[in-house]
Structure formats: structure tokens, C-alpha cells
Structure 1
Amino acid sequence: MTKFSKTAFAAFLAGTAFFAGSASAQVAGIATLDTTDAIMQTKAFSQAYQQIGTTYANNSQMIQTKRKEINDINAQLDTNKDKNLTQEELDAAIKAKNPLLTQLEAKEREIAQLQQPIVTAQAFAVESIADRYAAAQQQVVTQKKINMILSPDAFIWAPDAVDVTKAVTAAIDVALPTVAITPPANWQPKQSTGALYEQIQQRLLTAARVQAIRNAQAQQAAQQGAAPATPAATTPAAPAQPQPESR
């Protein structure tokens, strides 16, 4: 991506006209685009991750069980019982050749084996969508007469019309409504796929943590506001779509 000095960039903006009116108008031919978000918002991405979650539901359940077992082992290695396994406590266990360490390593290997098919399926789906990204971006650039695309964090403020992320997502949806989740034999992801996949997983993890906090806050608020004698009936929440345990 071409880099501009603040002076040059300010001069560029000053010398161009700002367009207003239709929602699709661009500001001085400049657009912002979040590549990762554009891919994550596609129908193909949602469909693939839901399918992977269903296909590998047993793996995810077994991973959760193994993690609980690991937590139980860690609790036994936590000699001062402060619920914080320190490096010193681990070093002491290693020095004493504590057999629990062997169990710990075995369970971690088992988790890695259970995660492998999930990670492979997810990465293959992400790469399949990413392969269509460049064409979708070029389509939007041509349609909207864009001269420059910057990442959203390059601006302190910009009107909504500058962001073409949804437009790129829509273009991908038309070209690739679904993707397969089973890669061919001996398939290996591209190097660029690995970086993109990690970004996606990190965003999903962050979103899950935020949602968990919101759920806890909502539950606490409901408990505080409930009448002690006759609590109001609540409608059970719809079951969430199964999500694969890849992390």
C-alpha cells in the first residue's frame, strides 16, 4: 500500500471535491475497507462455520471434556491452592517428576488431534472465500470509481459512505454463495491463509468473550430485578448454532 506523508495527504484531500447525496457516493474517490470483516460477513463463511460446528460437534464436546480434565490436573499441581498455577509450582512438579505432568501432556496432545480436522476445514473454507476476494474488491472499485482504499483505522472520522466493506461482501456473496469444507487430499493452506485465519479466530474469540460478559450482566440484572415471591416467567433462549472448538 502506498504511504503518504501527512502534508501530502492533506494536500490531496484539499484538492479534491467532496461528494454528498446517495449512500454509495465516495469521498474524493477514497474508500475504507476491512478485508477480514468483509470475508467474515459473507454467507459462505457463516454457512461453512455452522456446517463445521455441526460436523465436528463430537470433537468439540470431547475437547471441552479434555480441557476440564486439564483444569483438574492443574488444580492438583497448584500446591498452595490459590487457583493460580505458577511457573514455580510447575518447576517443582518437573523436578519431582510428578506423574501428573505426563497425563497433562497426553491430554494436550489429544486436544491437538481433535482440533486438527476442525482447523483444517475452517482454513480451507476461509481460503476458498479469500480466493474470490480480489475480484470482488476490483468489481467494487470499478463500480464506485474508487481511486484509493485505506484501512478503517487510517481515519479519525469518515462518513459511512466511505466504507465499502459491505459492498465487497455482497459481491463475494453473488460470486460464491457457499463453499466446501472438505479439502482435497494433501491440501496445505497458503501462507496468507494462515495469517487471515488467525485474525478471524481472534475476532471470533473476542466476540464470544464480549457476548459472555453481556450475558452475565443481563443475568445479574434479571436476578436483581426479579420479584422474590413470584418471579416472572421467562422464555427459554433459542439454542445457539453449534460452533467448532478450534481454539
Structure 2
Amino acid sequence: MTRFLKTALTVLAVTAAPLAVGSVASAQVSGIATANPTLAIAKTKALSAAYAQIGTQYKSYFDQIDSRNKTLNGLRAQLDTNNDKQLTQEELDAAVKAKNPVLQTIQAEEAEIQKLQTPAVMAQMFVVEGIFAEYGNAQQKVVSDKKISVILDPEVFLYAPSQVDVTNDITAALDARVPSVSTTPTAGWQPQRTTVALHQQLQQLLVASARNQAAQQQQQQPPAAQPASR
């Protein structure tokens, strides 16, 4: 969990790049439609701008997390008895059985990383909750504009034409209703359970998107020049 949050926070802090939205289908949707709420929120301009702001606001925290993760990787390497750079459950069990003191140091480092992550994570969840609060209204506007009777999850469909997907339309409606959102939680604020779940889904989606973009950029790079044969 710690490593996942670290990856998500670092990717969002460094890139804070909006997901590719694509063009909104111009054809009118009638009757049944499909939408992905997580993707609709992930594509909003407010989320992209707010996450970029959080990345700047908590940069010193991210730097400390990077440093502690390097220390943590070194500690974990000490438990990698076969030196394959993979810490297996068997190796962890062996360390526990031997009461290896490195385990306590690892737990302490993980606890400190968690503390450093918490302010940024809370800020992100506050942003997510602020945007999601308007999701119902944005969806209703799309429903009314396109005369939709039912919106279903994309996974329900075995086949559907592209214009049936109104995710981008909902994103556009959210952009109009929530052009910006605060990154500072109000005093005593605690995220709702639905906010926590949605935030986790967004983190997974954004990290996957960033990895795909990085892979595509790597594929587009020209191959290294081969040395001339003699």
C-alpha cells in the first residue's frame, strides 16, 4: 500500500498531466447511454489543476518521501537473501522467525512515509470530494440535453457504438460547474467513505495512464545509433 501511494503521489506531483479527453461525440444519444464516473472526474480541468497545485505545495514532503524510500529499498535489500532483487514472502517469514532487527527499522521508515503522505492524500481527497459533489448535477444536465433514459456501466455492454458513451459530455458539464476547487481541507473535515474509494480508483487510473504515456514515449524514441563497423 505504501509503495502504491508513493508511486501515485510521485507521478501526480511530477506530471499532473490531464488525461487525454478526446472529442465529444456530436451525435445525439437517445435512450440508453454509458458513462465511467471515475474517468469523467479524472479528465476534469479542476482535478488536473488542483493535483498540480498539491504537487507544488507538498514538494518538500515528496522529496523526503523519495529519500526515505531509497533508505527503505536498501533495508529491504538486506532481507533479500538470494540477491534476486525480489523480496519474497518466504524471505520475510525467515526474517520474522530470526527476529531480524532490520524489520523494526523498515516498519519505522514506513510509518514516517505514511505520515509524510497523509497531508497530500487528504488534500487530494478534499479535491475529489469537491468535484464529485457536482457529479449528479452534471450527469443530469447530460441526461436532459441528450434525452437519456438510462445510463449504464460500460462493462454491462457487449457492444455499443462510440456515441453511446457520454463520459466526455459529463466531464464537460463538470468543467462548467466546477472550474476550480480548493486544495485546503476545511477545519475538522474528514473524507466520506465513498470519497476514499473514489480517490483510490482515481489514483489507480492516473498512475496507469502515466505509465502508458511513458511507455508510448519510450517507443517513439529513435533507436540508439549503432557504432560503425570496421
- Same fold by TM-score greater than 0.5: yes
Count of equivalent residues: 204
Report sequence identity in percent.
51
Aligned to 2:152: 150
Is contact 1:127-1:189 (8 Å) kept? yes
Give the AA of the match of 1:123: M
1:111-164 deviations in Å (ceiling 9; x for gaps):
100110011000000000000000111111111111111112222332222111
Q: Distance in 1 between matches of 2:169 and 2:88?
A: 49
Q: Distance in 1 between matches of 2:87 and 2:102?
A: 14
Give the AA of the match of 2:203: Q
1:30-179 paired onto structure 2 within 5 Å: 30-179=32-181
Q: Could you say what secondary structure the match of 1:183 adopts?
A: coil
Q: Distance in 2 between matches of 1:160 and 1:88?
A: 48
Is contact 2:126-2:185 (8 Å) kept? yes
Q: Distance in 1 between matches of 2:206 and 2:61?
A: 19
Question: CA RMSD, aligned part only?
Answer: 1.8
Is contact 1:78-1:85 (8 Å) kept? yes
- 1:82 Cα shift? 2.2
Task: Say which one has the larger Rg.
Answer: 1
CA pair 228-155 structure 1, distance change in 2 beyond 3 A? same
Is contact 1:124-1:189 (8 Å) kept? yes
TM (normalized to structure 2)?
0.82
Q: Could you say what secondary structure the match of 1:182 adopts?
A: coil
Is contact 2:54-2:120 (8 Å) kept? yes
1:222 and 2:226 equivalent?
no
- 1:47 Cα shift? 0.7
CA pair 218-103 structure 1, distance change in 2 beyond 3 A? farther
Aligned to 2:9: none
TM (normalized to structure 1)?
0.77
Aligned to 1:29: 31
Q: Distance in 2 between matches of 1:44 and 1:67?
A: 30
Is contact 1:124-1:182 (8 Å) kept? yes
